[in-house]
Structure 1
Amino acid sequence: MLSAINNGFARLTDHPDFGKLVLRLTFGILLLFHGAAKIEHGVGWIARLLTAHGFPTFIAWGAYIGEVVAPAMIIIGLLTRPAAFIIAVNLAVATLLVKTGAIWSRTDVGAWALETEALYFFGGLVIMFLGAGKYTLIRNPRLQ
């Protein structure tokens, strides 16, 4: 009986391309909120952090690419894998700049202090490895 329920549910929900679309839309839209904050408030504070770590300040402009351009590309399915890679790198750099000391910390509710950063980083990797699926602006027919 459990096998029949499982098989029936699997038949109803076996839509990997739709799942990829939902993942891309959720991930991209939620990350765009972070990009909107950068558009509203600028990246000056990121430039100051970079300077404190000995990096050139122009790298701060990469936040716009990683949190506005790349998520938009993921949403529409344009160069999805490279865009997802850019997001993963952006999150790694952001975490190293802002929250390095929180690697072993937990929040007041018991969550890992880097939970959000990890979700975005690994989400970017997952999208990079899965690709966009068939619901996309540009598909690579060789990989379909």
Structure 2
Amino acid sequence: MSLFAFANDHTGRLLLRLGIGFTLLLHGVAKVGEHAVLSDIATHLQQIHLPGWLSHGVFVGEIIAPIMLLLGFQTRLAAALVIINMLAALGLYHLPHILTLTPHGGWRIELEVMWLFGAFALLLMGSGRYAIRPD
């Protein structure tokens, strides 16, 4: 038996769901109760003529969607929500950082881009077998 006999597409999808879901959920939970964060997001939205109440969408994209990914429930919908959230974050906050590196040589927006592209992959592939509701 091969050392990698356990490896398959379904295991890969599970690992991708867990990686994106867990790290993004922690990012979202840190915003709970932080009214200054919601106020800042609302201000950015209003500057581009969108209603400030849309700032609460951060909780959909960074708490609800990651929980859905972790569970494997409506994975493609959850991935779409993460994509929308990441595009909004990139558009509202990170456009000036697209060509910027950190002091350690990493891309300034690497985390957001990894979440974005990981969510795109899950949107295309679905949850895999190891999910509450496989698709």
Is the structural similarity TM-score above 0.5? yes
Deviation of 1:55 (Å) = 1.4
The code of the aligned residue for 1:22 comes to L
Classify the secondary structure of the residue corresponding to 1:40. coil
What TM-score, normalized to structure 1? Answer: 0.85
Q: 2:53 aligns with which of 30, 40, 58?
A: 58
Aligned to 2:7: 14
Q: Distance in 2 between matches of 1:124 and 1:101?
A: 23
State which structure, 1 or 2, has the greater radius of gyration over its C-alpha atoms: 1
Gaps of 5+ in 2: none
Q: Distance in 2 between matches of 1:24 and 1:14?
A: 15
The code of the aligned residue for 2:79 comes to A
Identity, in percent, stands at 31
1:127 equivalent in alignment to 2:122: yes
Aligned to 1:32: 25
What TM-score, normalized to structure 2? Answer: 0.90
Higher helix share: 1
Gaps of 5+ in 1: 1-6
Deviation of 1:13 (Å) = 4.4
Deviation of 1:82 (Å) = 1.1
Aligned to 1:98: 93
Stretches of 4+ moved more than 3 A in 1? 7-10
